[in-house]
Amino acid sequence: DRGTCVLFGDGAGAVVISASDTEGVLAMVQGSDGSRGEVLSCRGRSAANPFLDKRNALQEQSYVSMNGQEVYKFAVRTVPKVIAGAVEAAGLSMDEIDFFLLHQANLRIIEAVAKRLHQPMEKFPTNLQKYGNISSASVPILLDNVNNHGMIGEGSKIVLAGFGAGLTWGAAVLRWQAV
């Protein structure tokens, strides 16, 4: 919708990670709540089918729609909980985490998560000022940015966390080992 489209950038990212005895994925937590999915959703778009009346297909098109206030409330409640769960499952404390790499939805959400976790903003790098909200690509692109800028090194403990449509959420705790 016109009220939402201006908030999103465009990007793609992927990361290959693996577990080992001392590095890799230490813990992961994820979840979803489909009962609240309408606050951030995109209905299925019609296929261009030559056997259908195209006028009806165009009328059925749907776009990403979002209730920004509800998404904000959801994110600042849920993301700290999922991060805390993943860090605990990894057998670590918040203070042992070097960096928290969050979905770059907006700076207010990231600041609220940092505050709720009682962690300094210096541990929450951002790149949304450069790329905007690039949806699911934001976490892998941010990981690439902090790696390329030498912010993380062998043995760094990092949390990757995201949330989005559906409503869905997840966090992973990693011990970094460059290849």
Question: What is the rounded CA–CA span in Å between residue 30 and residue 112?
Answer: 20
Q: Give 17's DSSP letter.
A: -
Stretch 44-73: mean pLDDT? 66
pLDDT of residue 39: 78
Tell me the pLDDT band of 21, cut-offs 50, 70 and 90. Answer: low
Residue 62 has pLDDT above 70, yes or no: no
Q: Which residues fall within 8 angstroms of residue 89, CB to CB, at 6 or more apart?
A: 26, 27, 28, 29, 173
Residue 56 has pLDDT above 60, yes or no: no
List, as one string, the DSSP characters of 49-79: -TTS-HHHHHHH----EE-HHHHHHHHHHHH
Structure tokens at 23: 């590095």
Q: What are 23-36's pLDDT values in tens digits?
A: 688 999 999 988 87
Pick the residue with more confidence: 25 or 56?
25
Stretch 172-179: mean pLDDT? 87
Question: What is the rounded CA–CA span in Å between residue 153 and residue 178?
Answer: 7
Stretch 11-20: mean pLDDT? 76
Q: pTM (2 decimals)?
A: 0.82
Q: What are 83-128's pLDDT values in tens digits?
A: 999 999 999 999 999 999 999 989 999 999 999 999 999 999 999 8
Residue 142 has pLDDT above 80, yes or no: yes
Instruction: Quote the mean pLDDT of the chain.
Output: 85
Tell me the pLDDT band of 60, cut-offs 50, 70 and 90. Answer: very low
